[in-house]
Structure 1
Amino acid sequence: MKMTLLELLFQGIPEQISLVLLTFLISKAKVDWKRIVVMGIFMACFIYLIRLLPITFGVHTIIAIALLIFIMVYLEKISLVRSVISVILVYVFLIFAETICFRMISTLFQLSWDQIRNNEILMIISGIPQVILMLFVAFITNKISLR
């Protein structure tokens, strides 16, 4: 499924930054906001380009998982096992967050998936709660790990 530039800016980039942040926290990597934001922007732009290719929907997620594991292992020097576990946990949580948030929004506003998917503004708005949820979980994870 292709993504517009507005979706990239207002949903894709914040989502990827929250994914990278949560991965850093779960893998116990040093939180460096500048690196996290740069990696999130890079990942979002990379995924945006992948989604432009004529490939089956979902393949971009597998590529994104592999890229984030690569980044954690080679740039952040986190062990392969810890990186794989952290990234998989974060993506499972993303799927959970997307499912919960989409169902709540579609039920609350009586909208179908097609209605949301075919409206750029609704797509962006429907992605905001999951990013907020992921940032909240990152905040809680950070507080727990500081104890």
Structure 2
Amino acid sequence: MVVFIMFDFLEVSEFLLFLLPGAVESAGIVACSLALVRVKLRWTIIIPAASTLATIIYLIRHMPVTFGLHTIAGFLLLVMFLTKGTRVPPSSSFMASFISYAILASLERLMIELSVMVLKTDINNIMSDYLLWTVLSLPQGVLMVAIALLIAKIRTPLEGMWRIR
């Protein structure tokens, strides 16, 4: 009985540890995609959508499937969200999602390089430490949100683009 309780606690704590930076990162991706297609950033929609996306990505990452499938699934779910939740055509949704994921990949690469230089360690050591790896992903999520806000400032949102009330 104690073993099962401890196992569940470890799974829950791992999930919560993933969800914080994962939800911030997903919020940045969703917001960045919306800003690129000139949809007004409505955080009351973005936060639940990002949390759902992060949860689905977490579940896929822990399935016995090919590594990277969670990224493809997240990408396709984002395209579907943009297409169904806004008045953006599928082709524009696809491009905005692709650009957002490309920005995220660039930020992740930058964060990894900086982490290796600052911590003076090998990337394998960083990746094997789940807590460190998770904490290091939080700044790239915050940067994604900042980039989304900057894009939304430059590309003025159009009125009436949301289908969701």
Alignment TM-score > 0.5, same fold? yes
Which residue in 2 is equivalent to 1:45?
A: 55
Residue 27 in structure 1 maps to residue 5 in structure 2 = no
- 2:27–2:145: 8 Å Cα contact kept in structure 1? no
Residue 102 in structure 1 maps to residue 86 in structure 2 = no
Residue 140 in structure 1 maps to residue 150 in structure 2 = yes
Distance 1:8 1:49 in 2: 11
- Letter matched to residue 140 of structure 1: L
Tell me the CA shift for residue 39 of structure 1: 0.4
Which residue in 1 is equivalent to 2:135?
A: 125
- Letter matched to residue 49 of structure 1: L
Which residue in 2 is equivalent to 1:62?
A: 72
- Letter matched to residue 43 of structure 2: W
Distance 2:60 2:87 in 1: 26
Tell me the CA shift for residue 146 of structure 1: 3.4
Structure 1 vs Structure 2: percent identity of aligned residues? 25
Q: For structure 1, which segment, 111-120 or 29-38, has the greater mean C-alpha deviation from structure 2 after superposition?
A: 111-120
Which residue in 1 is equivalent to 2:94?
A: 84
Tell me the CA shift for residue 123 of structure 1: 1.1
Q: For structure 1, which segment, 89-98 or 25-34, has the greater mean C-alpha deviation from structure 2 after superposition?
A: 25-34
Q: TM-score, normalised by structure 1?
A: 0.91
- 1:73–1:80: 8 Å Cα contact kept in structure 2? yes
Q: Secondary structure at the match of 1:146?
A: coil
The structure, 1 or 2, with the larger RCO (C-alpha pairs under 8 Å, 6+ apart) is: 2
Tell me the CA shift for residue 107 of structure 1: 0.9
Which residue in 1 is equivalent to 2:28?
A: 18
Q: TM-score, normalised by structure 2?
A: 0.82
Q: Secondary structure at the match of 1:56?
A: coil
- Letter matched to residue 124 of structure 1: T
What count of residue pairs does the alignment treat as equivalent? 144
Distance 1:99 1:44 in 2: 20
| Max Rg structure | 2
Tell me the CA shift for residue 121 of structure 1: 2.1
